[in-house]
Amino acid sequence: MKTVPIILILIISFTVPLSAQWTSFELDNIESEKFQQQVEPFLKTISLSTNRHFFSPITINKRINIGISYSHGINITGEKYSTDLIGGYPNLAGTLVVTQNLSLKGNMSIFKTEGDIVQSFAYGFGLNLTNKEKNNWRFSVLFSKLQGPDDLKNRSIDAAIINDFEIGTVPIFAGLGLNTYNTKILIVDLDSVPKSIKGNANHLLLGIQLIKGRLTIIPVLQVNSDVVILSIEISGIFK
């Protein structure tokens, strides 16, 4: 495996978390007439960030996977208010292999940002659709809930299907994600603000698996029409 591309990936993956701030959930300064338009890129970002699938390689002989992740969103719509809100989002995750084809998975997060204590959790399952050494297809679905901020609560469902392959000796996966969210807006002093916002954050995803013994580092790129999510996932495999 060539070392220079891997070093560059690791530098980029770790530099972003160190230089970024946590995502903000302060929505009360948005213009009420343009509220939904301005906030939708932000809602897509948190909907994707709360659902981390952790597509690390695990087998029936190594049933338990525990990991951490950091996700950072980039708003590509030009809506300035969403850009000001979007920041980093951490997660702690775990996966338990039940059978050769089925695994149970989940992740959770708790952090403080601008006076809000943000809490989120997600749970779901993963399936091996094929059992090949190369070009294997995998499916994963997660149900997530975010609460804690004064201004909103969010529920979302994220389903992803990926294909594992190699370029040279580098393990890579690519696929498609379908994401739908329902956000309850808790701002009560503005009648023109919608009480709930529903939407989709469907996306393409690409990841690279850097494996060293029981440790796996996975930089992941998710591309939606409004936002781009850059994530770094680090996990360990245990029996």
Question: How far apart are the C-alpha atoms of 31 and 50, rounded to whole Å?
Answer: 26
Q: What is the pLDDT of residues 37-94, one digit of tens each?
A: 888 999 999 999 999 999 887 777 778 899 999 999 999 988 777 777 888 999 999 9
Q: What average pLDDT does the segment 97-113 reach? A: 92
The dotted CATH code for 3-238 is 2.40.160.20
Question: How far apart are the C-alpha atoms of 71 and 6, rounded to whole Å?
Answer: 19
Which pLDDT value is given to residue 190?
67
Question: How far apart are the C-alpha atoms of 233 and 175, rounded to whole Å?
Answer: 17
Domain map (residue ranges) of the chain: 3-238
Higher pLDDT, 101 or 5: 101
Question: How far apart are the C-alpha atoms of 127 and 141, rounded to whole Å?
Answer: 9
Higher pLDDT, 82 or 16: 82
Three-state SS for 76?
coil
Most confident by average pLDDT, 30-34, 60-64, 215-219? 215-219
**The dihedral sign for the CA sequence 55, 139, 207, 40:** negative
Contact predicate 134/145, CB 8 Å:
no
Q: Is the pLDDT of residue 13 over 60?
A: no
Task: List the beta strands (DSSP E) in the chain.
Answer: 64-75, 88-97, 102-113, 116-128, 137-147, 152-167, 170-185, 196-200, 203-208, 210-212, 215-223, 227-238
